[in-house]
Structure 1
Amino acid sequence: MSDNTTTSNTNTGSDADTDASTDARERDIRTDGTGIVAPDDETPAWSERKNRSTGLSRLTYEYFERARREDQDLRQESDYVERDVLAFPTWPHEIIRNLAIASFFTGMILFLSATLPPHIGSPANPSSTPAIILPDWYLYWSFGLLKLGPLNPELAILGGEKLMSDRTYGVLANVVVVGVVAIVPFLNKGSARRPVEQPFWAAVGVGGVIFAFTISVYSAKNLIPMNVHLLFDLTFILPVVAGFVTWAVLKTMREGYSYDLNRRYYRLRPPK
């Protein structure tokens, strides 16, 4: 009987010590920038702790962990049923994140400029016109729209003549494309922040990006080792196919994504 009593007292004492140590760790974990940032459900290895101890890596790690804990704590304390709109102060959260991203891209630009310097060709000859004239790469899409002569209809009522010249037709195509790009933000007035929440507009965006690429390739058709008619067809077929595939994939992902989103933000019970 005494042995059982002693064992139970020992277990009770060990449980109390465990609870006390747990409470002490929870008191040390704070989100005001002065405490210890807790790891994400796992104990970091020695090398990870060493990498996080100094420099930008530690600041970045603390920023993401502290932001995650602040978001989690605020959502647990909130009484709202709908999704809460939370934000973080500029310093240190936004500043550290922006510095990390800017430093990464600056380093990549310096690395590429040092390892792959641009080739300087021979000077241009002002007395001869080059065989192929192309604008800067970021204007290839506009230059490709100027070459849409095959789409310029020939009207039988005019005796097979075209209503406008191919050059005018290309300029009109530029106006139409730029107008569509400018009006899309006014048509899509939803509050979605992720493509899976609005598959249609995500498909429109993917199709537009693919079309910008294909029409840019078509603008340099003289340099592409492919049949011109096939290249012309792919210029308009690939954006439609890419947009449809994007819509179909996001549509199938939407149900599971909505459930995960609702379970996180609205605290719904999982379906039985």
Structure 2
Amino acid sequence: MTDTTDTDERNDATEEVAADGAGIVAPDDETPTWRERKERRQGLSRLTYEYFERSRREDQDLRTESSYVERDVLAFPTWPHEMIRNLSLTSFFVGLILFLAAALPPHLGAPADPSTTPAIILPDWYLYWSFGLLKLGPLNPDLAILGGQKLMKDATYGVLANLVVVGFIALVPFLNKGSARRPVEQPFWSAVGVFGVVFAVMISGLSIKNLWPAWVNVHLLFDLTFLLPFVAGFITYGILKAMREGYMFELNRRYYRLRPPR
């Protein structure tokens, strides 16, 4: 009987996670303060480890005591838990960037010649979509009332197209006020997102049409730029709409298992 009791006590003790290498994590009233940890001079690594273990234990206790895990919002103080974690992650990525910069230095080409103009001028790759909107001259309508002349210049038309696209992107957060976390919960806005991504890729390809091989049909590329986004959007909407009923059933059965809806 005594051996069984001792074994149970040892098993209970091993369930606690050691935070400082000397014993179990201290209770709340015995947890050393920041100044006390600093005076121990154990270094940032040991301090970070203790706080990570403390956060993990608090999270585990909250989830164990909670009667409804799915809807509970678990959080920790900004200082020191979040600050220590962010400092650790930031230090890791900064060190990785410094290592790559030292091990793989970028190649520096010949300096630019101000007396010559490059044959092809392109912006950075992440601005190709905006550069492509400046090449929508074929969509600039000719008005018969003006004698077949265009209402505005192609360059002005491209700038206006940029304003329209950027304005729509800025309005999306105000138009979509839902609380969905997954695309299947809002098929329409998911389809809008897919439409935007495909359109950005296609208009970026159109912006560098001078770099495409001669066998590429530029006119077909221009048509696909405005056709493929709609096709991708409709397909996305149809797939998510078909998945939504079964998905929401499984989701609600899991969410309302412990707390039925009112």
Query: 3-state DSSP class of the match of 1:246?
Result: helix
Q: Taking structure 1 as reference, are residues 191 and 165 closer, same or farther at Cα in structure 2, changes over 3 Å only?
A: same
The answer to whether the aligner puts 1:69 opposite 2:60 as a matched pair is yes
Query: 3-state DSSP class of the match of 2:173?
Result: helix
Q: Taking structure 1 as reference, are residues 106 and 201 closer, same or farther at Cα in structure 2, changes over 3 Å only?
A: farther
Q: Distance in 1 between matches of 2:83 and 2:151?
A: 57
Q: Distance in 1 between matches of 2:204 and 2:86?
A: 32
Match of 1:239 among 224, 229, 233: 229
- Residue deviations 1:193-218 (CA, integer Å, cap 9, x gap): 33332222222223223322322222
The offset of 1:241, in angstroms, is 3.3
Superposition pairs for residues 91-240 of structure 1, below 5 Å?
A: 91=79, 93-99=81-87, 101-103=89-91, 105-114=93-102, 116-225=104-213, 226-240=216-230
The offset of 1:149, in angstroms, is 0.6
* Aligned CA-pair RMSD: 3.9
- Residue deviations 1:219-270 (CA, integer Å, cap 9, x gap): 221112232112222322333333334334433443444344334432269x
- Matched with 1:266 is 256
Query: 3-state DSSP class of the match of 1:130?
Result: coil
Letter in 2 for 1:162: K
Identity %: 67
Q: Single out whichever of 217-226 and 143-152 deviates more from structure 2.
A: 217-226
Q: Single out whichever of 65-74 and 160-169 deviates more from structure 2.
A: 65-74
TM-score, normalized by length of structure 2? 0.69
Q: Single out whichever of 144-153 and 196-205 deviates more from structure 2.
A: 196-205
Alpha-carbon contact 2:51-2:81 (below 8 Å) kept: no
- Residue deviations 1:153-177 (CA, integer Å, cap 9, x gap): 2223333322211111101101101
Q: Taking structure 1 as reference, are residues 233 and 251 closer, same or farther at Cα in structure 2, changes over 3 Å only?
A: same
The number of equivalent residue pairs is 236
- Matched with 2:38 is none
Alpha-carbon contact 2:134-2:157 (below 8 Å) kept: yes
Alpha-carbon contact 1:63-1:97 (below 8 Å) kept: no
Q: Distance in 2 between matches of 1:168 and 1:195?
A: 36
Alpha-carbon contact 1:196-1:251 (below 8 Å) kept: yes
Q: Taking structure 1 as reference, are residues 55 and 147 closer, same or farther at Cα in structure 2, changes over 3 Å only?
A: farther
Q: Distance in 1 between matches of 2:83 and 2:203?
A: 39
TM-score, normalized by length of structure 1? 0.67
Gaps of 5+ in 1: 1-9, 36-53
Alpha-carbon contact 1:83-1:266 (below 8 Å) kept: no
- Matched with 1:6 is none
Q: Taking structure 1 as reference, are residues 262 and 88 closer, same or farther at Cα in structure 2, changes over 3 Å only?
A: farther
Alpha-carbon contact 1:215-1:235 (below 8 Å) kept: yes
Gaps of 5+ in 2: 19-23, 27-44
The offset of 1:102, in angstroms, is 3.1
Q: Taking structure 1 as reference, are residues 267 and 17 closer, same or farther at Cα in structure 2, changes over 3 Å only?
A: farther
